[in-house]
Chain A
Amino acid sequence: MFELPSGAEIQGIIASLKASVGFFIPEIYLSVLFMLLIVIDLVAKGRKNNLLSITTLLGLAGSTVFIYQQHALPAGELFFGMYVLDEFALFFKYFFVLSAILAVVVTMADEQFDREVKSMGEYYALIVAMVIGMIMMASSADLLMIFLSMELVSFTGYLLAGYFKRNPRSSEAALKYLVYGAVSSGLMVYGFSLIYGITAQTNIIKISLELAAHGSDSLVMILATLLVLAGFGYKIGAVPFHFWSPDVYEGSPTPVTAYLSVASKAAGFALLMRFFYVAIPHGALPPEDKLGMDWLSLLMIFSVASMIYGNVVALWQKNVKRLLAYSSIAHAGYLLLGILVMDQFGTQATLFYLLSYFIMNFGAFYVVILISNKTGSENLDDYRGLGKKMPLAGAALTVFLISLVGLPPTVGFIGKLMIFSALLTKGSLYIWIALVGIMTSVISLYYYMLIPLNMYLRESKQPDEKVMNPGMAPQIILAILMILTLYFGLFFTPLSDFAKYSSAMFGITLH
């Protein structure tokens, strides 16, 4: 059934592989970093946490150089269409590396690690591995690559979630994450198989061409897309695929929570956008009228549900981490709003919102960590009177929360502004959805303000007025994040231009 390739073909294959490797440097570099970390962990003796963390930081920072070099390269496919390189991918490469750096920084500030685990070796290695996986998620253009990269991210995610081996909550989080993730990815791959069956293609661009050419049996197409959506939805943690996220976010180590809630969510969005924009033609678009399926209205439902569910359930949370988990569900809803617009402006808005969410969410979790370092609790009631004891942290947390609500002059406001602007440029149906978004953001104010309310308006139960000093370095980082939140809230042109520049996706031209 197959005939062996001729020598010339093999030469061609090797040549193109060589060529492709040139486009693959950051990933390779990070893989090397990954191995290096493991080696260091093996050879180094004694307390090597700082050594590892510093190495990770430097390594990740170094990777940005290589990523920067890729701006020069032309956008295109590599590895026989397995993998693409475009501005969209570059954006996420920066995004993931930066979030990994922040995750490491946050980890260094978290004292719980010292209590829970002896060795940090695998931890940083896993962080780096997850970065690789997410970068590949953002860049893969083939069902196979999508599956592989997602599994890589998932596996590292399971391990990180369960990193506190002796901590039952952490292990429980790992188990739940594992089971849920395994099932979703299994469904997704089953959906892949169906798509492959329909189109005989695994490259998403070829798939879209195939669908455009011959059309498809809508029943199977629906089934396939739904199953795929299950996999992606589980990554972005939007209703109704969110069930794992509150438990996992609560149980995992806080830095991991922050990392998952920002980075892996973003990876899921990258994948979602690329796959649906490119592979599955949207039923509503003029030429491909009856092809594919109307995933747009589906996402519409999901986003509205996420905004309402996340914000409303968060009202009742007493644990700050869990509260932020629900809020992250809600923010997944807002991000979906940007995707719905399905044009360049929408993509730009989504990317911008991801950036703003990155800053403010990491900031919020950072403060949570600093506070739990001192109080050893993430309970809302234990935040009473902290505003006086930790002035800077309190102020910073307030700013981040305000930004999460979306009030000026913070970057979160600009994110919402752009998303809603994108919606309002598209007819009336979208305006109603925007109304829902507005309403829910008002609701969100209530539970976000619960935290400053406890910190400032209520007196702490044990009236010791001693100021808790979280340490110099964390405060500096905190201040930087806070200032960034405010600065980009007033002068957001660079971010927005970057998002604009990055909204170019290979294989499809948005208008």
Chain B
Amino acid sequence: MEQLTTIGLNHYLTISAFLLGFGLFAVMTRKNAIVVLMGVELILNAANINFLAFSKYNGGMEGVMFALFIIVIAAAEAAIALAIVINIFKLYKSVDVSSIDSMKE
């Protein structure tokens, strides 16, 4: 019962694991490029949660710092990604990731 009542490290880790799973799932299955990118964001945020949780339970600030940087990076990545996706949309008139496979084998 104690596991359920008091929030501990495991809970954070579980959530982050779920986030990771969802993120990967989105990346793997969604057609829309935007959603795929959102999946990537989920993955990064899963890492964030881990860092913060560990930082809390280990003591020390590295985790927090790391999380901050990850947020920044994620923002930058989103910017670049959107630029590329817009370009794709210009050329292909769609953002369907799965349809873009002119180069193969």
Q: Which residues of A contact B (CB under 8 A)?
A: 1-2, 143-144, 147-148, 151, 155, 158-159, 162, 165-166, 168-169, 171-176, 178-179, 182-183, 186-187, 189-190, 192-194, 196-197, 200-202, 246-247, 250-251, 316
Take A155-B80, A171-B91 as given contacts and tell me if A183 and B102 are in contact as well, using a CB distance cutoff of 8 Å: no
Query: Are the CB atoms of A193 and B100 closer together than 8 Å?
Result: no
List 29 A–B pairs whose Cβ atoms lie within 8 Å, in order of A's numbering.
Answer: A144-B62, A151-B73, A162-B87, A169-B102, A171-B87, A171-B91, A172-B100, A172-B102, A173-B103, A175-B33, A175-B84, A175-B88, A175-B100, A176-B100, A179-B36, A179-B97, A183-B27, A183-B43, A186-B23, A189-B47, A190-B46, A190-B47, A193-B50, A196-B51, A196-B63, A197-B53, A197-B54, A200-B58, A250-B103
Chain A residues within 8 Å of B69, by CB: 144, 147-148
Complex interface: chain A residues within 8 A of B23 (CB): 186
Report the interface size for chain B: residues with CB under 8 A from the other chain: 46
CB distance from A83 to the nearest CB of B (A): 15
Q: Is the CB of B73 within 8 A of A147?
A: yes
Question: Do the beta carbons of A182 and B103 come within 8 Å of each other?
Answer: no
A221 to B: closest C-beta gap in Å: 15
The answer to whether B66 touches A200 (Cβ under 8 A) is no
Chain B residues near A202: list those with CB within 8 A: 62, 66
Q: Cα distance A201–B33 when bound, in Å? A: 36
Whole-angstrom CA separation of A316 from B35 in the bound complex: 35
| A194 to B91 Cα, complex, angstroms | 40
Q: Is A183 touching B40 in the complex (CB atoms < 8 A)?
A: yes
Q: B27 touching A168 by the CB < 8 A rule?
A: no
Q: Please, what's the 1-or-0 string for B70-105, where 1 marks a CB less than 8 Å from any CB in chain A?
A: 100100110011001101100110000100111111
Q: Is the CB of A247 within 8 A of B103?
A: yes
Cβ-defined contact, B91 with A200, below 8 A: no
Alpha-carbon gap, A173 to B88, bound state (A): 10
Looking at the assembled complex, report how far the CB atom of B57 sits from the nearest CB atom of chain A, in whole angstroms.
8
Closest chain B residue, CB of each to CB of A148: B69
**In contact, A187 and B84 (Cβ under 8 angstroms):** no
User: Is the CB–CB distance between A178 and B104 below 8 Å?
Assistant: no
Docked pose: A426 CA to B58 CA in angstroms = 41
Question: Among the listed A144, A147, A178, which residue makes an inter-chain contact with B84, where contact means beta carbons less than 8 Å apart?
Answer: A178
Complex contacts, A172 vs chain B, CB 8 Å? 88, 100-103
The 9 closest A-B pairs by CB, nearest first: A186-B43, A193-B50, A200-B58, A197-B54, A182-B40, A247-B103, A189-B47, A190-B47, A202-B62
Please measure, in the bound complex, the distance between the C-alpha atom of A261 and the C-alpha atom of B22, giving whole angstroms: 32
A247 to B84, CA, bound (A): 16
Pick the residue among B40, B53, B81 that contacts A186 (CB under 8 A): B40
What is the CB-to-nearest-CB distance from A351 to chain B, in angstroms, rounded to a whole number?
A: 30
| Complex alpha-carbon distance, A2 and B54, angstroms | 16
In the complex, chain A residues whose CB is within 8 Å of the CB of B58: 196-197, 200
Contact among B54, B59, B85, B92 for A196, CB-based, below 8 A = B54
Q: Is the interface of A mostly helix, strand, loop or mixed?
A: helix
B84 & A196 in contact (Cβ 8 Å cutoff): no
Known interface pairs A186-B47, A190-B50; 18 further A-B residue pairs with C-beta atoms within 8 A, sorted by A's residue number: A2-B61, A147-B69, A147-B70, A171-B84, A171-B91, A172-B102, A174-B84, A175-B88, A179-B40, A179-B97, A183-B43, A193-B66, A194-B50, A196-B55, A200-B58, A246-B103, A247-B104, A250-B103
Q: Which residue, of B27, B50, B104, has the highest number of chain A Cβ atoms within 10 A? A: B50
**Closest A residue by C-beta to B92:** A168
How near does chain B come to A16, taking the closest CB pair, in angstroms? 17
**Is A193 in contact with B37, judged by CB distance below 8 angstroms?**
no
How distant is the Cα of A174 from the Cα of B73 in the complex, in angstroms?
A: 18
Distance of A316 Cα from B105 Cα, bound (Å): 9
Contact of A193 among B47, B73, B103 (CB under 8 A): B47
Please indicate the chain A residues that have their CB under 8 angstroms from the CB of B16 in the complex.
Answer: 190, 193
Of A174, A183, A196, which contacts B66 at CB under 8 A?
A196
Chain B residues near A196 (CB-CB < 8 A): 50-51, 54-55, 58, 62-63, 66
User: Given A175-B84, A178-B81, A190-B50 in contact, is the A183-B24 Cβ separation under 8 Å?
Assistant: yes
Chain B residues, CB < 8 A from A1: 59
Beta-carbon contacts of B1-36 to A below 8 Å, as 1s and 0s? 000000000000000100010011001000001001
Kindly state the separation between the CA atoms of A1 and B64 in the bound complex, as whole angstroms.
13
Q: Which residues of A contact B88 (CB under 8 A)?
A: 171-172, 175
Pair B87/A151 contact, Cβ less than 8 Å: no
